[in-house]
Amino acid sequence: MTRIVAIGECMVELAPCPTPDTYRAGFAGDTLNTAWYLRKMLAAEHEVAYFTAVGHDDMSQRMVAFLDAAGIVTAHIQRRHDSTVGLYMISLNNGERSFSYWRGQSAARRMLDGEGALQAALAGADMAYISGITLAILPDCDRARLLHGLQVFRDSGGKVVFDPNLRPRLWPDGAAMTGAVMQAAAVSDICLPSYEDEADWFGDATPDATAQRYRDAGVGLVVVKNGPGEIMVVADGQRVTFAPEPVLDVVDTTAAGDSFNAGFLASYLDDGDLERACVAAARLAAHVISHSGALVALDAPPLVPAPVAGA
Ligand code: AMP
């Protein structure tokens, strides 16, 4: 049995439905998306937990109930009286999506406030999963506490998995973002960057350069995603590349990387085979981007009907 703890912020998502002027509330967030897909991909004996902070209000209770219903362990989620969960709204203008956020005061920003809460969540866990958004939402001192807690976790045999998920609008400036990302890389065992973002913010000329930069920071296994392009995996003495099947009708790329990470980790934990993990990851991401929304049922029917045999 493997115990994985994802650490981050789950938000309320308001999506236009069924008309552009009425909205349906759901829940999403990068680390939560990965936890949700991991829970779906892993066998029942494994445990997926989420560590964050929420309020005591109705929406916070609903969020925790949503996680419970998905089979994600919520026992270590912090409850705060002084704040509630963050919110974002998706707007559609002529088919183009744009996002408005209300997350500045969200409870998740204070998730490290509780003395010993992170240590309790990680006690007995095998793997911790964080992203660049987890880093971005924390005050500087709490980010340092998180990284220290992860180092202690590693020292006792835990593995740390990190998706840099670069979001410059969450940081005061690019240098603060890239600096924090490389500090997190220094306490990570597996890193899952997306090449396009890394090239923009670190100036990497190739996916190889991205992989090498994280390897130089001490990461054992680096998986460089690249949209429809070749996936590259670099580990000690191994370099695997894998071309994902082209997705002809991309409906919504939300959570492509988050679901990819879940598919990769679930398969990698199963048998340690890097190529099979890439196949599983790309297959799951392809399914997700062929549907609308961040959390897509694994048995959701394809939106594009399969061609009729012989037609
Ligand atoms: P990204 O974070 O954009 O690099 O995408 C993560 C993963 O989603 C990629 O490694 C692919 O497996 C998959 N993916 C994203 N965009 C596409 C696409 N247009 N066609 C096929 N797969 C894609």
Q: Find out whether the beta carbon of 192 lies less than 6 Å from any atom of ligand 1.
A: no
The model's pTM is: 0.95
| Spatial distance between the Cα atoms of 37 and 20, rounded to a whole number of angstroms | 28
Q: Give SS3 for 178.
A: helix
Span from the CA of 55 to the centroid of ligand 1 (angstroms): 34
For residue 75, the CA-to-ligand 1 centroid distance in Å is: 33
Q: Is 85 in the pocket of ligand 1 (CB under 6 A)?
A: no
* Residue 84 beta carbon below 6 angstroms from any ligand 1 atom: no
Average pLDDT, integer, range 81-108: 90
Could you say which DSSP state residue 227 is in? T
So what's the pLDDT on residue 149?
Answer: 97
Architecture category of domain 3-8+30-82+112-290 in CATH: 3-Layer(aba) Sandwich (3.40)
Indicate whether residue 164 lines ligand 1 (CB < 6 A). Answer: no
How does the average pLDDT of the chain come out, rounded?
94
Dihedral pair phi/psi, residue 40, rounded to 5° = -75, -35
Q: How far apart are CA 45 and CA 90, in angstroms?
A: 36
Residue whose Cα lies nearest atom 18 of ligand 1: it is 228
pLDDT tens digits, 2-36? 999 999 999 999 998 888 889 999 999 999 999 99
Q: How far is the CA of 61 from the centre of ligand 1 (A)?
A: 33
DSSP label of 73: B
Structure tokens at 281: 């990851």
What mean pLDDT do residues 247-273 have? 94
Start-to-end C-alpha separation, the chain? 48
CA distances from 130 to 38, 209, 247 (A): 14, 22, 28
Q: Flag whether pLDDT at 310 surpasses 50.
A: no
Going 171 to 172 to 178 to 181, the CA torsion angle's sign is negative
Q: Average pLDDT, stretch 35-58?
A: 97
Q: Is residue 304 scored above 70 in pLDDT?
A: no
- Is the C-beta atom of 229 inside 6 A of ligand 1? no
The three-state secondary structure class of 48 is strand
The residues with which 240 forms a beta bridge, in sequence order, are 233
> Long-range contacts made by residues 148-155, C-beta under 8 angstroms, separation at least 24?
149/118, 149/119, 149/122, 150/184, 150/187, 150/188, 151/187, 152/119, 153/122, 153/125, 153/128, 154/187, 154/189
Tell me the per-residue pLDDT of 129-169, one tens digit each, with 9 for 90 and over: 999 999 999 999 999 999 999 999 999 999 999 999 999 99
- Give residue 87's identity as a one-letter amino acid code: L
- Ligand 1: residue whose CA is nearest its atom 2: 257
The CB of 231 under 6 Å from ligand 1? The reply is: yes
Q: How far is CA 205 from the centre of its chain?
A: 25
Query: How far apart, in Å, are the Cα atoms of 183 and each of 6, 128, 148, 187?
Result: 18, 16, 10, 7
Cα of 282 from ligand 1 centre, angstroms: 7
List active site positions.
258
Contacts of 92 (CB under 8 A, 6+ apart): 16, 20
